[in-house]
A and B are shown apart, each in its own frame.
Chain A
């Protein structure tokens, strides 16, 4: 079994270096009403790796991401980011952790009342004392990094879906985050633009050595960008491993997912079609 290689040498994944994880989730339990959304999730994410969280719709992957972003508090469990447990963190500590995070939302979540340039500049204006000219320069640079130039003075509604996604990425990058969280980077985009976003993610990973956490259900894109993957199903983590390990995992749900087999066609399931045969 050959692992993907880099410049001929055996590639060492970040999780194999023995370093301490940047993010470590332990026993995370989330419940909405009486529905268990996450049931005892444990996950370690290491510096510089791209972790793809994979799973069917409604399996709790977006919920997991929202908890990593500190937008919601779980019922039980801990989420340590750089040694700070964000579940119990004070307001101040939380603010410090959040400056390490860049978040790109599924819906892009651009502020529609501001121009794209102001959107990207917002975190800089809020958190730094940089001069306005410097902020403009950084803004232009960040937009260039995501392949958008000359859109500073447009409003988000004047951009296409793919451009909005890129712009929101530029905003997430504005404060030079260490960890970038991505919710469904290619949702609602056509395959060509989605492929462009994937390439962009790979470029960012190489250029900035960032830790990336990507939630997606797009298999192709997941296999392309992932160092490791984590497969969520029915509120639990089924498996964590490299792309090869996930592909080779014999668990029926994982095989069903990676081979794109519908529920009623999966072996062992009661198919409603059989009634007609």
Chain B
């Protein structure tokens, strides 16, 4: 009975968490529409730009490096197998499609989780602990609008951008492999990759980036808002934001991939 009890309790907690995420998402999405440089509030837009620099620009070197390494690993590993069948040129297909559809968005998301997902939850949790969130509420400023919305806007711009660059650096690294093993110039390699890639591949990669970005920013903020206790609570919420973001991003990846596999051939 104790076992059933704890399973039930755990399930309720998880459902509640998803519910909170959904409420936060719905609330923020309506506010998000008001943040544009033309009619929105100056302050929100300025904060969003600052966040873009933090989330996107500063993550760029790491994303390119890791993505490049991933592309090269992919080329080496698949090359080692395909060599046996004399089908080395398939490496181009493999690297191009896998990076675009799968690894580009994933690598970018994982780097952003490590850099910004954790930072977001730490920032929000600290604001809760030091009464700053309460102060916002007493000033009739919606904390979701003030804290989450600029970050969300920044994430929705920057994660797809980072993904594009991650895909490109991964493919370029694969080109280095073919340059040395197939005597193929980089230009030729890129032309072949462009022939292979379909609109479907590119769209599915970008859709994933948007979904991942939304997950990262919302989980980060929610973990921050739910902080309990003092400073040690901030550490706990940061850890939990990273773990939950990774889990949800991979889960969403699976769902997206399945969706594109079955519904857009």
Contact = CB atoms under 8 A, between A and B. Distances in A.
B138 A71 contact: yes
Interface string A42-79: 00000000000000000000000010011100000000
A105 B139 contact: no
A106 B132 CA distance: 11
Interface stretch (A13-21, A121-129, A193-201, A207-215): A121-129
Given A105-B131, A111-B132, A122 B141 contact: yes
B83 interface: no
A107 B129 CA distance: 10
Nearest to A103: B138
Contact of A98 (B41, B123, B139): B139
A95 to B, nearest CB: 5
B242 to A, nearest CB: 21
Contacts of A122: 139, 141
A101 interface: yes
A204 B146 CA distance: 30
A99 interface: yes
Interface string A109-140: 11111000000001101110000000000000
A109 B131 contact: yes
A168 B131 CA distance: 12
A101 B134 CA distance: 13
B43 interface: yes
A126 B132 contact: no
B65 interface: no
A98 B137 CA distance: 9
Contact of B134 (A94, A105, A113): A105
Interface residues of B, number: 16
A107 B138 contact: no
Contacts of A99: 140
A98 B135 contact: no
A126 B141 contact: yes
A interface, how many residues as a size bin? 20 to 34
B137 A71 contact: yes
B131 A98 contact: no
Interface in B114-141: 123, 127, 130-132, 134-135, 137-141
B140 A109 contact: no
B138 A69 contact: yes
Contacts of B140: 94-95, 98-99, 123, 126-127
Question: Chain A CB within 10 Å — which of B41, B139, B146 has the most?
Answer: B139
Contacts of A105: 131, 134-135
A66 B138 CA distance: 10
B141 A103 contact: no
Given A125-B43, A126-B43, A109 B132 contact: yes
Contact of B139 (A110, A113, A123): A123
A107 B131 contact: yes
A98 B146 CA distance: 17
A109 B130 contact: yes
A101 B141 contact: no
Contacts of A98: 137-140
A112 B131 CA distance: 11
B88 to A, nearest CB: 53
Contacts of A110: 132
Contacts of B43: 125-126
Contacts of A175: 139
Interface string A130-169: 0000000000000000000000000000000000000010
Interface in B126-166: 127, 130-132, 134-135, 137-141, 146
Given A112-B130, A113-B123, A126-B140, 4 more contacts: A70-B137, A109-B135, A125-B43, A126-B141
6 contacts: A70-B137, A71-B138, A107-B131, A123-B140, A123-B141, A126-B140
Interface of B: 41-43, 123, 127, 130-132, 134-135, 137-141, 146
Interface of A: 66, 69-71, 94-95, 98-99, 101, 103, 105-107, 109-113, 122-123, 125-127, 168, 171, 175
Report the 5 A-B pairs with minimum CB-CB distance, sorted nearest first: A109-B131, A98-B140, A109-B135, A103-B138, A95-B140
